[in-house]
Amino acid sequence: MSHSSERPAVVDTARSASWARGGVPTIAGLVTTYGRSAFLPGLVEALEGQDLDADAFELVLVDNGSNDDTWPALAALVTASPARALAIRLDRNAGPAPGRNAGAASVRAPLIAITDDDCLPTPGWLRHVRLAFAGGADVVQGAVHADPDGIDSMGPWDHTIWVTNPTPFFETCNVSYRRSAFDRAGGFDEDDPLLHPPSGRAFGEDACLAWEVQRTGGSAAFAPRALVYHRCIPGTYERWLADQRQLERFPGLARRSPLVARWLYLGVFLDRRSATFDLALAGVSMAALTRRRWPLLAVWPWLRSRWAYSRYRAGGSRRAALPLLLRLTRSDLLAFGAMARGSVRYRRLLI
């Protein structure tokens, strides 16, 4: 993997009093943060609360070029931390990959456990990650559940993440690497235009690194008890639509990672739901071309699923569910168009 020669520079550091305490830690928790100072107290508290011996783990936290009060907040928390903790500040934000690579360069432990700044690791997180590595794995994917304190109040466009079984994406909200395998694979790719487009929204660098580790001889494991909670983040319909546009790069990711390609539903559909939507589109198109009504039966599987979801999100109200269904229809059309464009661009069919 290639990395830009113009990496962001480290311009400041902060250390806890115990950072330099003797002995090499067995595992490190690594987090990058950007403009989320309000999340930091809860995050640092969760990281400090790991149920390993205090000298067995270390924490490395990276301010990835924030331009608000993130750095003073992070530096204060790390300086006062009872854990072996280090904070570094980068001079600019060039995406999550350079931030994580900069943090990994400061890790002393042979195992690197990564989570995100909108996550809350449970006390047994690092212990169960370490146990998974004892079986010989080079990359370990952990479980992610929605934050129990926020899930009941989530709206239809709010964001959280669930990982309850192995996936090909190895999301950075809970993924860990043996340091030797991380270095062999070259860390997170910082330059690939598929992963770092002009829009600035990084995409798929976590999946590509995990595949590179396995392509070069490493093995993967899933640790269901290495649990991290993902915060429930308020969202908007506009942000939801932006996420659908991101799917234009998914065919490229499927071409890049055989793990992603094998995960696709029947090899050409993003998932089962997208397959029902494509079937619905085909039925509507055939009905229009033949001027017959029976092809419209193909709409039923998608409509039943989306209507049930809309009713659920609307609290059972049919009146409130209808506008939600219309918005979901628009987003599904946008996703179909994005994947169709990506299929042409990356020469890999995905609809």
Q: How many CB atoms are closer than 10 A to CB 182?
A: 25
Instruction: Provide the mean pLDDT of the chain.
Output: 95
Q: Kindly report the length of the chain.
A: 351
Q: For 132-171, give one letter per residue: b (16+ CB within 10 A) or e.
A: bbeeebbbbbbbbbbbeebeeebeebbbbbebeeebbbbb
Q: Say how far apart CA 40 and CA 61 lie, in whole Å.
A: 10
Looking at residue 22, the DSSP 8-state letter turns out to be S
Q: Provide the pLDDT confidence category of residue 174 given band limits of 50, 70 and 90.
A: very high
Summarize pLDDT for 330-343 with one digit per residue, the tens: 999 999 999 999 99
Written as one letter, the residue type at 243 is: D
Taking the chain, what is the end-to-end CA distance rounded to the nearest angstrom? 29
**What are the structure tokens assigned to 36, written together?**
């989320």
Summarize pLDDT for 82-97 with one digit per residue, the tens: 999 999 999 999 889 9
CB 138 within 8 A of CB 56: no
CB 278 within 8 A of CB 299: no
CA Rg value for the chain: 22
Q: Provide the pLDDT confidence category of residue 2 given band limits of 50, 70 and 90.
A: very low
**Angle, nearest 10°, between helix axes 318-346 and 272-290?**
90
Distance of CA 112 to the CA centre of its chain: 16
- pLDDT recorded at residue 98: 94
Mean pLDDT of 67-77: 97
Where would I find the H helices in 115-270?
125-133, 179-185, 205-215, 237-245, 250-256, 258-263
pTM beyond 0.85: the answer is yes
Domain boundaries for CATH 3.90.550.10 within the chain:
10-235
Q: What is the CATH number of domain 10-235?
A: 3.90.550.10
User: Which comes out higher in pLDDT, residue 199 or 7?
Assistant: 7
- pLDDT recorded at residue 198: 67
Mean pLDDT of 109-124: 98
Closest Cα partner for 269 from 240, 237, 302, 241? Answer: 302
Percent of the chain's residues with pLDDT above 90: 91
Summarize pLDDT for 142-159 with one digit per residue, the tens: 999 999 999 999 999 999
**What are the structure tokens assigned to 188, written together?**
């997170």
Q: Is 260 exposed, middle or buried (0-12, 13-18, 19+ CB in 10 A)?
A: buried
